[in-house]
Structure 1
Amino acid sequence: MNTNPSLNAEVIEPGGRNSLSNRSRSILFYCVIMVGFAYLSTQYSAEEGYGFVSLLPALLTLCVAIYSRRALEAIFAGIISGLVLLNPFEVVAGLGDLSLNVVMNETIAWIVLVCGMMGGLINILERGGSVVCFGETLARRIKTKRGTMLTTCVLGMLVFIDDYLNSLAVSASMKTLTDKYRISREKLAYLVDSTAAPVCILVPISTWAVYFAALLEENGATEAGKGMSLYIDSIPFMAYGWIALLVVFLVAGGILGNLGAMKQAEARAQKGEPVPPGVILDGFDTSNIKKVSPTVGLINFLLPMAVLVGASVYYEIDLLLGALTASLFTMVLYYWQNLLNFGQLVDSMLDGFKVMLHPIAVVCAGFMLKDVNDQLGMTPYIIDALTPLLSKELLPALVFAVMAAVVFATGSSWGVFVVSLPIVIPMAQVMDMSMPLTVGALLSASAFGSHACFFSDSTVLSAQGSGCTSMQHALTQIPYALLGAAFTFVLFIGLGYAFA
C-alpha cells in the first residue's frame, strides 16, 4: 500500500480502456455527438434562444463524467459541445476567447493564488514535521475509528472561515490518523467536504457571508449597508447547511451507515487499503521530513494556522492576504528554527503550488463551462420555464430545487447567482415572500451545488487534500448529498406554507 501522504492524486485508467478498439469507438462516439450539436446549431440561434437545447452541454458533461470517471475530460467535452452549438465554425476562436476570459477573470486569479499558496503552506508544514506532530498528538488522544471521524468533523467546523482552507488543512492533518483506523480516503473527503461549504454559509464571519451580503445589497434585497444583517437573519433558514451538518455527524457517529459506492470504499479500507486503487500519490516530497519534538511540532502547526485565520479576518475575510501573511510567517519561523533553509522553503512553496495545478485546472475549466452555459442562456431558460409553476407557498422549495440544479450543472456556487439574483429577488418581492426565507433557500442551493458537483472547487480540493480523485469523492458522497437535499426540499415546502 502506498502511504505517501501527498495531496495530488491521479487515476490510471484500466488497460482495456486504453486499447485501440476502445479508443476508436470513443472517437467515433464523440464525433457523432459533435455532428449532432453542429446540426442543432443550424436550428437555433442566440437571437431566438436555445431553449431546452441549452441544457445539453451540461448533460453531456455529466454523462461523460459518470462513464469516464474523470472530471477534466468531462468538462471539456461539455465546453466543446457548447461551442459547437454556438458556432461550429468558431470553435477554436471561441476556446481561445474562453481561455483569455478565464485568465483575466479576477475571481480565477484569486482562486489560483489562494490554492497555490495554500498548497505551498501545507507543503512547508509537511516538510517541517508539523503535520506529522499534529497527527501524532491526535493519535495519542483518539483511540477509536468513531472518535477519529468525529474529530475530523469538529476540526472542519472550527475552520469555518473559508471552505478552501477547510478542504486542504483538515484533510492534510487527518490523513495519517484516518489511515491508521482504516477509514477510506473517500470517506475522509466526504467528512471534510461536508463541513466546508455547508458550515461556511452558517457563519457570518466567512468568505461566503461577505460575498453574498454584498451581492444582496447590489440586487436590492435590502438597503445599502444592511446586507450582512439580512444574511444573519437568513441563517436559521439555510436548511441544507443544517441538514448536511446533521447527516455528516450521524455518519461519523456510526448512526447512519455507508450508502452506495461508500460501501465498497469502506470495505476496501477495512482490508488495509484506505487509498483507492489506481491512485498515484506523487505530490509532496515527505522523504526528508524534519524530526522535531512533539511540543515544538504542535506549536509549529498551530501558530501558522492561527496566523492564517487571524490575518484573513484582519484583512476583511480575504483568504489570499491571510495565506500570504501565514506563508511569510511560517517561512521566517522555520528558517529561524533551522528546520529548512531558504532554498528549501522556496522549493517547498513552488512544489506545493505545482501539486495544486490539477485541481486549479479543473476549477478553471468549470468556469469556462459556466461561460458557455451563460452564452446559451441556460440559467434564464430554467428559471423562465418554471416561473409559471411558482406560487408564494412553493417559491422557497422551487428556488432551492432550481438553483441547486443550476449550481450542480455549472459548478459555480458563486458566479451563477450574479445571473439569478436579479430574477429571483424581484420575484420574491412581488409575491411578498419572506426575504430571509428566500435568501436561505438560495444559500442552501449554493451549498448543495458546491457540495455535490464533481467539479466544484470545494469538491475538487477536498478530494485533492484527502488523496482521491474528484470523481471517486463525488460518487461516494452523492447519496448523502441527495439525502440532505430531499429533506431540505420538504422542509422548504413546509416553511413556504408557514410564511405565506
Structure 2
Amino acid sequence: MSTDIAQPGIDSSTAANATQQTVEGVNSPQKWLLFYGGIMAFFAYLSTQHVEGESYGFYSLLPALLILFVAVITKKPLESIFAGIIAGLLLLDPGNLVNAMGDLSISVVMNETIAWIVLVCGMMGGLINMLERGGSVLSFGEMLAGRIKTRRGTMLTTCALGIMVFIDDYLNSLAVSASMKRLTDHYKISREKLAFLVDSTAAPVCILVPVSTWAVYFAALLEENGATPAGNGMSLYIESIPFMAYGWLALLVVFLVAAGILGDFGAMKHAEKRAQAGQPIPSGILLDGFDTSNMKKTSSFVGLINFLLPMAVLVAASVYYDIDLLLGALVASMFTMVMYFWQRLLTFGQLVDSMLDGFKVMLHPIAVVCAGFMVKEINDQLAMTPYIIDSLTPYLSKEMLPALVFASMAAVVFATGSSWGVFVVSLPIVIPMAISFDMSMPLTVGALLSASAFGSHACFFSDSTVLTSQGSGCTPMQHALTQIPYALIAAALAFTSLLIMGFVMA
C-alpha cells in the first residue's frame, strides 16, 4: 500500500510528471545501451588476458553470473540469456562474434535433443489447446469444482494430480496447470502459487519414478559411463531412488505449503495478497482462453471422458514406445482429433487450427529453452563444469563426496538450465571419482539426480520452469522468484541429508 503525501509548493500533477520522467530516465534506451556496451567491452577485454591453451578458470563463470544479474534487473529471461551468450562468445573470440553466433545457432537447432524438445512442446501445446477448445478441460475443472470445496483442498489436489502425471515433467507442467487454472482462480490462489505447486511435482517426482523419461535417459547414461555393467542401468537407478534427497524433500515442502503448514513469504506472499484481493492473474499477463459461446455442449460425464481418454492414450502410448513422449503426444493428438471430429465437437479445420495455435503459444518457451542450450554450449567451450569440479577436488573426501557433488552439480545445472545435457560432461568425471573413493554408487547417483532435479526446478530459464509458467499463466521470472525460497529450503535439507548419509555410509 502506498501513501501520497502532499508537499508545500508541489502539486500532485507536478509530482506525477517528475516521477514519470524519473522512470523514463532510468529505463531510457541510451542508458541500457551504455550499460550493455560497457559489459560487452569488459568481456572483450578479458579475452585478451586469456592465454590460448590454458583454462579460462574463474572467467568461465562470468557469463552465467551475468545472466543471473541481468535477469534480476530486467525480469526477462530471454534477454538476459542472450546477454550471457554474447558475453561468452566475446570471451571466447571477440573478433569472430557474428560467425560464432551463426555457427552456435545452427548447431543448437540441428541438435537432436532440441528437435525433440521443439516437437514435444509444440505437440503438447496443440493437444492441450484441443482439449480446451473441445470443452474437455472445462468439464474436468467442473468435476473437480463439484467435489473440492476449500482452498486447501484445491492446492492438495493440484499436488496429487502432479504426482499422478509422473511419466514426464513436460506433461505435468502443461496438463496439470491447464486443468487446475479455473479452480485455483475461483479460490483466489495466485497463478504463481499454481506454478509452484505444479513445478514442484514435475522434475522432483519424475526422478523418483523408474517409469519416466528421466529414468530411461539417466539409466542409459550410467551404463555408458561405467557406473554399472551394461544392462544394469535401470537396476542401479532404482537402487538410487531412496537417496534422491532433493526429490523427496521438495515433495515434502510443497505438501507443507499446500496444507497451509508452511506459509507464504518473499515474492510469494505479495502474489498471494494480490490474489486474495481478487487478482489471481499477474498484471501484464494476457487472459488465457477463447470464445466459448459457440462451443458445443456435452454432458459433464462425456466431457470428463473426453479429457481422461486422451490423457490415458498419451501415457499408454509413451510407455509402449519406450517412454518416448514425442511418439506418445503424436498418437494422443491423432486419437483426440478423430474422437472430437467424430463427436462433431470441432470441425477438421478447427482441430488443425487448435494444433497450430498450440505451437504458436509454445514459441516463446521453445525460444528460451533453445537459448539455454546455447548457454550450455558456451559453458562447455569455457570448460565451466570441469573448473567447478576441479576447484572442489581439494576439499573432497569419501564422506563429503555426495554432498559436494550435489552442491556443485546443482550450481552448474542452475547456471545452465540444462538438467540433462550437463551430465554428459560431468558423469565421466564424477563416476571415476566415486569409484576411486569406493563410495556407494547408489548414493552418488542419488546426489547427481538430486542436483539435476534442483536445477530443473529452480533455474528461471530451465525447460520445466518455462513450460510451467506458460501453462499456469505467469512469466518465468514471476514463477522463479516466488518459487526459489522453497526450492532453497529443500536444497539445504537435501545437502544436509546427503552429508549425513556420506558419513554414515563411508
TM-score by length of 2: 0.95
2:319 paired residue among 288, 308, 313: 313
2:140 is the counterpart of 1:134: yes
2:95 paired residue among 89, 96, 103: 89
The alpha-carbon distance between structure 1 residues 45 and 95, as it changes in their structure 2 partners (threshold 3 A), is farther
The alpha-carbon distance between structure 1 residues 340 and 15, as it changes in their structure 2 partners (threshold 3 A), is farther
Q: Contact (CA 8 Å) 1:167, 1:458: kept in 2 or not?
A: yes
| CA deviation map 1:109-152 (0-9, x unaligned) | 00000000000001110100000000000000000000000000
Pairwise CA RMSD? 1.3
1:236 is matched with 242
1:498 is matched with 504
2:224 is matched with 218
The alpha-carbon distance between structure 1 residues 452 and 284, as it changes in their structure 2 partners (threshold 3 A), is farther
Highest RCO, 1 vs 2 (Cα 8 Å, sep ≥ 6):
1
- Deviation at 1:17? 6.1
Q: Contact (CA 8 Å) 1:114, 1:323: kept in 2 or not?
A: yes
2:207 paired residue among 184, 201, 211: 201
1:26 is matched with 32
Q: Contact (CA 8 Å) 1:127, 1:290: kept in 2 or not?
A: no
Q: Contact (CA 8 Å) 1:123, 1:284: kept in 2 or not?
A: no
- Deviation at 1:46? 4.9
1:7 is matched with none
* Residue aligned with 1:317, SS: coil
* Distance in 2 separating the partners of 1:168 and 1:454: 17
* Residue aligned with 2:84, SS: helix
* Distance in 2 separating the partners of 1:298 and 1:248: 27
* Residue aligned with 1:202, SS: coil
Q: Contact (CA 8 Å) 2:174, 2:468: kept in 1 or not?
A: yes
- Counterpart mapping for 1:27-426 below 5 A: 27-281=33-287, 288-426=294-432
- Deviation at 1:292? 1.6
* Residue aligned with 1:89, SS: helix
Q: Contact (CA 8 Å) 1:160, 1:166: kept in 2 or not?
A: yes
* Distance in 1 separating the partners of 2:409 and 2:496: 16
Q: Contact (CA 8 Å) 1:126, 1:289: kept in 2 or not?
A: no
- Deviation at 1:22? 2.2
| CA deviation map 1:282-316 (0-9, x unaligned) | 67665643322101100000000000000000000
2:466 is matched with 460
* Residue aligned with 1:277, SS: coil
| CA deviation map 1:264-289 (0-9, x unaligned) | 00000001100011222367665643
Q: Which is further off, 338-347 or 155-164?
A: 338-347
Q: Contact (CA 8 Å) 2:417, 2:463: kept in 1 or not?
A: yes
The alpha-carbon distance between structure 1 residues 322 and 17, as it changes in their structure 2 partners (threshold 3 A), is farther
| CA deviation map 1:143-169 (0-9, x unaligned) | 000000000000000000000000000
- Deviation at 1:468? 0.1
* Distance in 1 separating the partners of 2:25 and 2:79: 18
* Residue aligned with 1:311, SS: helix
* Residue aligned with 1:280, SS: coil
Identity score, percent: 77
| CA deviation map 1:439-486 (0-9, x unaligned) | 000000000000000000000000000000000000000000000000
* Residue aligned with 1:496, SS: helix
Q: Which is further off, 260-269 or 289-298?
A: 289-298
- Deviation at 1:260? 1.0
* Residue aligned with 1:150, SS: helix
2:431 is the counterpart of 1:437: no
Q: Which is further off, 142-151 or 271-280?
A: 271-280
Q: Contact (CA 8 Å) 1:159, 1:166: kept in 2 or not?
A: yes
* Distance in 2 separating the partners of 1:287 and 1:89: 58
The alpha-carbon distance between structure 1 residues 131 and 17, as it changes in their structure 2 partners (threshold 3 A), is farther
Q: Return the index of the structure with the highest Cα Rg.
A: 2
* Residue aligned with 1:258, SS: coil
1:480 is matched with 486
Residues matched between the structures, number: 487
* Distance in 1 separating the partners of 2:427 and 2:21: 47
Gaps spanning 5+ residues in structure 1: where?
1-13
Gaps spanning 5+ residues in structure 2: where?
1-19
* Residue aligned with 2:94, SS: coil
